[in-house]
Structure 1
Amino acid sequence: MSRFQGANALKRKRPGATSDALTDHDQAVLDVIRSKQDMGIYQRDIKREIHTKHNITLPDPAITKCLKSLVTKNLIKEVKNIQSRGKKHFISVDFEPSNELTGGAWYSNGSLDTEMIEQLRRLCWNHINGLQIATLEAVTDYVNKTKVPNVPLSKQQTAELIGSLILDNEVMEVKSSGTGEFASIPVGKVCYKCINARRIILRLPQSQSQPHPLKSFKVNNATQTQNNAASCSYTVSIRTSCSSTTYTRDQISLAFGDAYGNQVYAPRLDDPYTRTFERCSTDTFEIYGPCTYQVCYLYLYRSGYDGWKPESVTVYGYYTKSVTFYYNTFIPGDIWYGFDFCNGLASASASS
């Protein structure tokens, strides 16, 4: 597993992180730990390093005392090393621990995060299913934009996730022919497609396919989290029109569901500090809610004065076929506005 040092490993120094008023022994221990940068050092190895670099022989109790003092002064911290869990490992607060220590995206607090891995697998599957044909670069970029992984994934890590989907016969590896569905991908480039793709196209009369306001719409305010046993994960991709406002500070809410009373509600998607819903942009959200059958209705709610014009909203879920709702119009304020295709779902599914 590779690691990165240098500028990327450095972390902004914290206020008060000073080496003032340190004893000579404290300073010697701190110098050794800082010299190891993002890799840190085992407590047992500090004694040898100090003797080599400073020609000082410190007994173990003295080193333990120095470490406690440096931790109290917020100059170093103890970190978990996944390769040696029972040994104390220390790193300077000026650095973030390397992936070799923490395990990177696959680990949380020193333990293999199986729930996170499964969530990332589902994100990969959803995006491949939505694109029908996807490259490794496209999937990696998409997953990182969702902010679900605790650190950005490398292409190699994404390839590991997709590889597990291939072993489970959920995804297949193919090479681009440069024509047809591969037209936008260079000839010979490795890409991926879902073996049992789930996709639906709602074929409805034009008058029915326009968004409409719904004053009587009621939302389910029950909060769902990824730890809820009855909760499912959905990926929602919202494309903002190029004729929308530059960006909006309005509050945006979302609700969607199936014909059987299962509803997913996201009370706030907006974030003006990150310029969410900027003109000509696509924002992707990971949302948790009750597990649904086929999603057949979707409504947006806007509150504010800037205005906002979404082009489309696509919902992906592992247990529901992906579906896109086309808006391409400004959302009126303070009312739920969207689509309800549930009555026409059966015939639409049969013809798709």
Structure 2
Amino acid sequence: MKNLLEFIATAEDGLTETDILAGYPNATQEEIAKNLNILLKKKQIDIFNDGHTLKYKASLSTMKDEEKMIHTLILESGTKGCLVRDIKNKTNIPQNFVMKILKILESKKLIKAIKSVKSNLKFYISYDQNPSEELTGGIWFNEADIDEEFVIELTKLMYVYLSKKTLWNNQFSLSKIEEFPCLETIHDHIEKTGISNVGLSLENLYTLLQVMIYDEKVEKIFYKDKYVYRALPQ
């Protein structure tokens, strides 16, 4: 019977057979009883007496076993994390069960939820793991929003550096092009300033330089088999 365990797991206080029959109006009492026995044999549900009524409830022991299974899966996902649907598909655990276990693991600070800036989907990763830039958006994002303050500060720092290297009295001279810095040289300088607690990649700075070129603050020049950069007078 489809999703019977998931249906029972939704009721924290348990369900009577009458409750289950009401949830599956097209199933016979014999079909319900057969599937309940299968779940009982697998120890996925417990049966208990609530006053004068027998009730069925999702097994706590199963929850603990499946906690380990889900936690292991999330650990193995590393910095990329896991979606709920991936956890459900790979473990064959009903989604309601999965959500309960995820809340338990979060409360124990074993995992944490990260919202992807690209897809807006929620991924789960190990509590001590730093999410990948693919999820967070990298250094340009703070709590899934563009970190404008950091971008402005870094842009100013790069412009000041390029001005010192390529402008003299707010003018530039091609005769000194040998001194114009390439991407790698700019990267080395920025790293030495310690402006970011997170390591800045060449790709990070290249992206920002492209924005500065578009804003007509910087010019890229091809010289001796490589590109060098100069500040434009402002």
Q: Which interval holds the TM-score relative to the shorter structure?
A: 0.5 to 0.7
How far did 1:96 drift? Answer: 1.2
> How do 1:96-111 residues align onto structure 2 when only pairs under 5 Å count?
96-111=130-145
Match of 1:69 among 91, 101, 104: 104
Q: Does 1:157 align with 2:204?
A: yes
- The aligned residue for residue 162 of structure 2 is 128
- The aligned residue for residue 115 of structure 1 is 149
> How do 1:188-203 residues align onto structure 2 when only pairs under 5 Å count?
188-196=225-233
Q: Does 1:146 align with 2:146?
A: no
How far did 1:59 drift? Answer: 2.1
Give the letter for the 2:226 counterpart: K
Match of 1:35 among 69, 76, 95: 76
Question: In structure 1, how many angstroms separate the alpha carbons of the residues matched to 2:191 and 2:135?
Answer: 21
Deviations 1:9-39 (A, max 9, x none): xxxxxxxxxxxxx810100111111121110
- The aligned residue for residue 212 of structure 1 is none
Aligned residues: 159
> How do 1:238-257 residues align onto structure 2 when only pairs under 5 Å count?
none
The unaligned stretches of length 5 or more in structure 2 are 1-62, 167-179
Question: In structure 1, how many angstroms separate the alpha carbons of the residues matched to 2:216 and 2:154?
Answer: 17
Question: In structure 1, how many angstroms separate the alpha carbons of the residues matched to 2:80 and 2:109?
Answer: 18
Q: Does 1:79 align with 2:126?
A: no
Question: In structure 1, how many angstroms separate the alpha carbons of the residues matched to 2:194 and 2:68?
Answer: 39
> How do 1:293-312 residues align onto structure 2 when only pairs under 5 Å count?
none
- The aligned residue for residue 52 of structure 2 is none
SS at match of 2:124: strand
Deviations 1:215-242 (A, max 9, x none): xxxxxxxxxxxxxxxxxxxxxxxxxxxx
- The aligned residue for residue 168 of structure 1 is 215
Question: In structure 2, how many angstroms separate the alpha carbons of the residues matched to 1:69 and 1:196?
Answer: 58
TM-score by length of 2: 0.63
Question: In structure 2, how many angstroms separate the alpha carbons of the residues matched to 1:145 and 1:42?
Answer: 38
Question: In structure 1, how many angstroms separate the alpha carbons of the residues matched to 2:90 and 2:218?
Answer: 50
Deviations 1:85-115 (A, max 9, x none): 2x33210124210000000011111112222
Give the letter for the 1:109 counterpart: E
Give aligned-pair identity as a percent. 31
Q: Which has the higher strand share?
A: 1
- The aligned residue for residue 346 of structure 1 is none
Question: In structure 2, how many angstroms separate the alpha carbons of the residues matched to 1:130 and 1:50?
Answer: 59
Question: In structure 1, how many angstroms separate the alpha carbons of the residues matched to 2:194 and 2:136?
Answer: 18
SS at match of 1:30: helix
Distance 1:118 1:59, change over 3 A: same
Question: In structure 1, how many angstroms separate the alpha carbons of the residues matched to 2:67 and 2:202?
Answer: 42
The unaligned stretches of length 5 or more in structure 1 are 1-21, 52-57, 177-186, 198-352
SS at match of 2:79: helix
> Is the Cα–Cα contact under 8 Å of residues 172 and 195 in structure 1 kept in the other structure?
yes
Deviations 1:239-297 (A, max 9, x none): xxxxxxxxxxxxxxxxxxxxxxxxxxxxxxxxxxxxxxxxxxxxxxxxxxxxxxxxxxx
Distance 1:26 1:74, change over 3 A: same
Question: In structure 1, how many angstroms separate the alpha carbons of the residues matched to 2:88 and 2:66?
Answer: 11
Runs of 4+ in 1 over 4 A off after TM superposition: none
Question: In structure 2, how many angstroms separate the alpha carbons of the residues matched to 1:88 and 1:195?
Answer: 43
- The aligned residue for residue 25 of structure 1 is 66
Question: In structure 2, how many angstroms separate the alpha carbons of the residues matched to 1:151 and 1:118?
Answer: 17
How far did 1:84 drift? Answer: 2.5
Question: In structure 2, how many angstroms separate the alpha carbons of the residues matched to 1:140 and 1:47?
Answer: 43
Q: Which has the higher helix share?
A: 2
Give the letter for the 1:195 counterpart: L
Distance 1:149 1:141, change over 3 A: same
SS at match of 1:41: coil
Question: In structure 2, how many angstroms separate the alpha carbons of the residues matched to 1:83 and 1:159?
Answer: 21
> Is the Cα–Cα contact under 8 Å of residues 33 and 91 in structure 1 kept in the other structure?
yes
